[in-house]
Amino acid sequence: MNTSDLDEKKSKILIIKPASSSNTNQKANLIQKIPRIIEITMNSKKICQIAQSISEEQNDLEECKWKFAEKVVNLEYAVIPYKLSNKTELFQGNLFIIPDQIQNQPTTKAIHKKMNELDEKMLTPHLLHWFIAERQFILDKIRDLFKEN
């Protein structure tokens, strides 16, 4: 038995053992490391309103791609499963979000890289307005949930 096997077994035993005063702090630390997951129900009516508002800004295609790329980077690792945030398809039903994984201030480099990936797809401003609105809806929902708590 090598040391990594022993360490692995120790950690399993630590989790299974009944609570004692010395293990309580360790268990509390483990619980704090478990990510919070929030379920969000997509609301197409609200998303449509956001998309309409975005379309009224009359941004050109490049500006729309930039905004979409920024929202994708914001949510890239927060949406479960992760690959959903990169999709250029409509979100449907409920989504699961890990709020701690939202990138509130993505770097220009990350946005630019994502934007270059979008150049390969044939996206119209109309579609981009919807995709931006979906992601903005998610970010707004999370922001509102945290305001309440």
Contact 84, 101 (CB under 8 A): no
The mean pLDDT value for 33-42 works out to: 78
Across the chain, how many H-helices and E-strands are there? 6, 3
Segment 101-121 shows an average pLDDT of 87
| Mean pLDDT calculated for residue range 10-25 | 43
Stated as kind and residue range, the H or E segment containing 83 is: none
pTM recorded for the entire structure = 0.70
Q: For residue 97, which phi and psi values (nearest 5 degrees)? A: -125, 140
What the block records as the tokens of 36 is 């919070």
